[in-house]
């Protein structure tokens, strides 16, 4: 979408009304339970491919949304992608070949790809110019594609949003407005979308749909190939205007801006109880789309700049709004993940040739909200609870709320001061991990301790200020850290299978992709194997003793699937070495689980430890949150899984790092403290 530069337009947004005519439901919708989209705004194709493999697939995201992939005007600003010059798949985010490789890689990781499609207009350059890929153009002339006759005759900016014709035929902030009722123009637009379909995309986020007549949308989409499988989500900003979102529900989901505005009103202040009163926020509220038509968000690339919604700059309030959105049962959510900015026109970090530098979390201001622990882990919560009703609703009448999702999950959110109480859930009895801070290990949880739900479905806990607790049946303590929401087991111990895989292949990382019995496969590439003993990595699979089907890979496309037959493994122990399956523990009968309790001296309000155990994979930057220990110290206990130590760096979650002068910290098992670049043994709080 374009940046809402016009103050007049912003002033029109506010009063919510319902359209009198509601179109039939769309044919294609985000398929559950994996209906969460990570919007990687301004990310390069190569970086998205990496992120699908390392984070999005394992976390359970169903979709990733790219920025517009077509050739665009030149310039450093963020909005260049939204001024097309041609329909070549060539931009400062990457080449056509890189785009195709990204789509294929994401599919391998179990993630579908949505492309942001700009089809209402071309550029806004009055004097013309040369596009990113070398195409020459004028404001209303794009050789080989469009000439002057292919644009609407109203060649001035929209001045009256109460005039339907003007909104759909005049220019939006000088962007040359295509005559989308023309069969020729519809064919050209459909040709572009079909080209993306041929590259494997699974759907589109269509920009500025309010400015395209509904009948024109029908004409365009009727020419798009493979329409039945495509997920379409449309940007139709709800305002007190004649054109309403309900006009477009026949063609796909609609972004419900009213939802995001209400979240700002709630979490931007501190009174959030009204979000869950009665039926709660959603289709029962005036001016809200039906659940099956709604796509919801906390912010997008426009609203984080114009202040219409919350943004990453709102800190804890923003994070809690994301947690609420993923836990609530209205609409299909998208998580915006861009970069920090002070100048709202600023684009991302660029190389000298104008290309976007591949995003890396913790560098160049990338927010990486999609990979932040308390947001990313809630995707697993959503997948596990998909399709269940809201139950056991509670509030303190102002700043704290809690609710269940049937017998699958429960969340408590606190926007006020520290809160301690007993919560009533419908969860089965057992020990759970609070996924807003950690995930299951074979012996407990990576962080936050074990939350015990009794036989009556109750648990007692303290929810600190601006924090949340989220429990779900896919993250019971001791499940061993499988993909969130996909662990087929329910209780650790008897019936578990420990798989040992030889490291003779020399891979830099090892994953096991499996299913228990006839159950669902893990999301490719599976779950990580960790160092067990010299020459071996291992993974304990809950409930796997009765039999699993498995394949192994390096996380980068190289697989060992037993010559296409996969491996059939069962029993308490199974080994795989050179295609040969065994049943004797290669590391001996006892493998003591070791931990490192790390204390870090800092004055940062928020502190993360970014680490890898042994020679394993690094955590996703900025790492995992450390808890308050005593004055001046943060603490985190890390399961070493039999390894002798870890490598770590520390940061404040906002781009400030302590990586020991570039050398990182080498930390062994036991209790250690890190202060002023020095690692020593001991507990500074004892």
Asked which of 191-205, 305-319, 453-467, 479-493 is least confident by mean pLDDT, the reply is 479-493
Element housing 273 (H / E):
none
Catalytic pick from 235, 302, 358, 664?
A: 235
* Dist CA 256 CA 288 (whole Å): 7
* Dist CA 104 CA 196 (whole Å): 13
For the chain, counts of helices (H) and of strands (E): 11, 38
pLDDT for res 111 = 95
Q: Tell me which residue of 128, 50, 34 sits closest to 556, measured CA to CA.
A: 50
Mean pLDDT computed over 32-37:
90
In this predicted structure, the answer to whether residue 296 has a pLDDT above a threshold of 70 is yes
Q: Which of the four pLDDT bands, split at 50, 70 and 90, describes residue 287?
A: very high
pLDDT digits (tens, 9 = 90+) for 306-365: 999 999 999 999 999 999 999 999 999 999 999 999 999 999 999 999 999 999 998 999
Q: Which of the four pLDDT bands, split at 50, 70 and 90, describes residue 125?
A: very high
pLDDT digits (tens, 9 = 90+) for 367-419: 999 999 999 999 999 999 999 999 999 999 999 999 999 999 999 999 999 99
At 624, list the tokens. Answer: 């995992």
At 91, list the tokens. Answer: 């931009």
**Matching residue, tokens 């807003």:** 436
pLDDT for res 686 = 67
pLDDT for res 482 = 42
Q: Tell me which residue of 657, 645, 649, 642 sits closest to 681, measured CA to CA.
A: 645
Mean pLDDT computed over 29-39:
85
- What angle do helix axes 373-385 and 316-327 make, rounded to 10 degrees? 10
pTM metric for this prediction: 0.70
In this predicted structure, the answer to whether residue 18 has a pLDDT above a threshold of 60 is no
Mean pLDDT computed over 527-532:
78
pLDDT for res 58 = 92
In this predicted structure, the answer to whether residue 530 has a pLDDT above a threshold of 70 is yes
In this predicted structure, the answer to whether residue 25 has a pLDDT above a threshold of 50 is no
Q: Provide, rounded to the nearest whole percent, the portion of the chain with pLDDT above 70.
A: 92
Beta pairing class for 665-668 and 645-651: antiparallel
φ, ψ of residue 392 to 5 degrees: the values are 50, 45
pLDDT for res 495 = 64
Per-chain mean pLDDT for the chain: 88
Q: Tell me which residue of 553, 624, 531, 523 sits closest to 55, measured CA to CA.
A: 523
pLDDT for res 356 = 97
Q: Which of the four pLDDT bands, split at 50, 70 and 90, describes residue 570?
A: confident
The backbone region for 44, taken as left when phi is positive above 0, alpha when psi lies in -120 to 50, beta otherwise, is: beta
Non-local CB neighbours of 661 within 8 Å, separated by 6+ positions? 677
pLDDT for res 588 = 66
Asked about 207 being catalytic, the answer comes back as yes
Catalytic pick from 71, 207, 496, 658?
A: 207
pLDDT for res 654 = 87
Q: Tell me which residue of 292, 290, 367, 288 sits closest to 335, measured CA to CA.
A: 367
Mean pLDDT computed over 530-534:
74
Mean pLDDT computed over 10-32:
42
Instruction: Return the ∠ at Cα 399 (arms to 393 and 402), rounded to 5°.
Output: 20
In this predicted structure, the answer to whether residue 525 has a pLDDT above a threshold of 70 is yes
φ, ψ of residue 225 to 5 degrees: the values are -70, 150
Mean pLDDT computed over 633-657:
84
In this predicted structure, the answer to whether residue 246 has a pLDDT above a threshold of 90 is yes
At 278, list the tokens. Answer: 């009665």
Q: Which of the four pLDDT bands, split at 50, 70 and 90, describes residue 483?
A: very low
pLDDT for res 594 = 61
Q: Which of the four pLDDT bands, split at 50, 70 and 90, describes residue 489?
A: very low
* Dist CA 284 CA 18 (whole Å): 12
Mean pLDDT computed over 272-300:
96
DSSP 214: H
Chain centroid to CA 433: how far? 20
Mean pLDDT computed over 559-569:
84
pLDDT for res 31 = 64
Asked which of 11-25, 102-116, 255-269 is least confident by mean pLDDT, the reply is 11-25
Asked about 496 being catalytic, the answer comes back as no
- How many other C-beta atoms are found inside a 10 Å radius of the C-beta of residue 128? 15
pLDDT for res 10 = 34
Mean pLDDT computed over 432-446:
91
Q: Which of the four pLDDT bands, split at 50, 70 and 90, describes residue 496?
A: confident
* Dist CA 532 CA 68 (whole Å): 44
pLDDT digits (tens, 9 = 90+) for 625-641: 888 888 888 988 887 76
Q: Give the alpha-carbon dihedral of 85, 89, 91, 93, to 10 degrees.
A: 150
pLDDT for res 641 = 65
- The more confidently predicted of residues 270 and 12 is 270
Q: Which of the four pLDDT bands, split at 50, 70 and 90, describes residue 488?
A: very low
- The domains of the chain, with CATH numbers, are 37-120+181-383 (3.20.20.80), 389-472 (2.60.40.1180), 497-582 (2.60.40.10), 595-681 (2.60.40.10)
């Amino acid at each position: 979408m374009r940046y809402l530069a016009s103050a007049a337009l912003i002033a029109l947004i506010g009063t919510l009304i319902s359209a009198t005519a509601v179109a039939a439901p769309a044919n294609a919708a985000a398929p559950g339970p994996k209906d969460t989209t990570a919007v990687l705004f301004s990310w390069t194709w190569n970086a998205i491919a990496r992120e699908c493999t390392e984070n999005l697939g394992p976390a359970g995201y169903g979709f990733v949304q790219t920025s517009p992939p077509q050739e665009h005007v030149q310039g450093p600003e963020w909005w260049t992608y939204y001024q097309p010059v041609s329909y070549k798949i060539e931009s400062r985010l990457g080449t056509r070949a890189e785009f195709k490789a990204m789509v294929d890689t994401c599919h391998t990781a179990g993630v579908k790809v949505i492309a942001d499609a700009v089809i209402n207009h071309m550029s806004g350059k009055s004097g013309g110019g040369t596009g990113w890929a070398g195409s020459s153009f004028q404001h209303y002339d794009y050789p080989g594609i469009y000439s002057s006759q292919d644009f609407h005759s109203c060649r001035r900016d929209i001045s009256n949003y109460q005039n339907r014709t003007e909104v759909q035929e005049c220019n939006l902030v000088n962007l040359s407005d295509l005559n989308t009722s023309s069969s020729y123009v519809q064919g050209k637009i459909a040709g572009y979308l079909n080209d993306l379909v041929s590259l494997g995309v699974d759907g589109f986020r269509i920009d500025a749909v309010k400015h395209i007549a509904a009948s024109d949308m029908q004409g365009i989409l009727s020419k798009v190939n493979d329409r039945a499988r495509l997920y379409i989500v449309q940007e139709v900003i709800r305002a007190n205007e004649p054109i309403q979102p309900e006009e477009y529900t026949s063609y796909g989901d609609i972004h419900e801006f009213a939802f995001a505005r209400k979240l700002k009103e709630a979490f931007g202040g501190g009174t959030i109880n009204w979000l869950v009163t009665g039926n709660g926020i959603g289709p029962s509220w005036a001016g809200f789309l039906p659940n099956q038509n709604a796509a919801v968000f906390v912010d997008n690339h426009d609203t984080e700049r114009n202040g219409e919604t919350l943004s990453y700059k709102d800190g804890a309030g923003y994070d809690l709004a994301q947690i609420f959105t993923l836990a609530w049962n209205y609409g299909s959510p998208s998580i915006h993940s861009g970069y920090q900015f002070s100048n709202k026109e600023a684009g991302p970090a660029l190389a000298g040739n104008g290309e976007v530098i591949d995003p890396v979390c913790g560098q160049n201001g990338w927010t990486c909200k999609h990979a932040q622990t308390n947001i990313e882990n809630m995707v697993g919560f959503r997948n596990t609870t998909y399709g269940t009703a809201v139950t056991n609703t509670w509030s303190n009448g102002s700043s704290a709320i809690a609710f269940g999702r049937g017998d699958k999950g429960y969340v408590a959110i606190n926007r006020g001061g520290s809160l301690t109480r007993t919560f009533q859930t419908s969860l089965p009895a057992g020990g759970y991990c609070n996924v807003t801070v950690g995930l299951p290990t074979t012996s407990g949880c990576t962080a936050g301790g074990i939350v015990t739900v009794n036989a009556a479905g109750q648990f007692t806990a303290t929810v600190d200020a601006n924090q949340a607790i989220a429990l779900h049946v896919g993250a019971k303590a001791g499940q061993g850290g499988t993909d969130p929401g996909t662990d087929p087991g329910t209780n650790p111990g008897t019936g578990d299978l420990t798989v040992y895989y030889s490291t003779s292949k020399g891979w830099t990382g090892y994953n096991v992709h499996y299913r228990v019995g006839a159950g669902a496969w893990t999301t490719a590439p599976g779950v990580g194997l960790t160092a067990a003993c010299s020459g071996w990595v291992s993974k304990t699979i809950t409930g796997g003793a009765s039999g699993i089907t498995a394949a192994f890979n390096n996380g980068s496309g190289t697989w060992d699937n037993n010559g296409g037959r996969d491996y059939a493994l069962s029993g308490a122990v199974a080994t795989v070495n050179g295609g040969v399956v065994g049943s004797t523990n290669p590391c001996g009968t006892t493998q003591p689980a070791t931990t490192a309790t790390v204390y870090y001296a800092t004055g940062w309000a928020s502190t993360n430890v970014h680490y890898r155990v042994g020679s394993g994979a690094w955590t996703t930057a900025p790492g995992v949150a450390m808890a308050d220990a005593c004055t001046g110290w943060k603490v985190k206990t890390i399961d070493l899984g039999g390894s002798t130590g870890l490598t770590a760096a520390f940061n404040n979650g906002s781009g400030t790092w302590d990586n020991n002068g570039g050398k990182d910290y080498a930390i062994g098992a036991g209790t250690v403290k890190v202060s002023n670049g020095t690692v020593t043994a001991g507990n500074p709080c004892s």
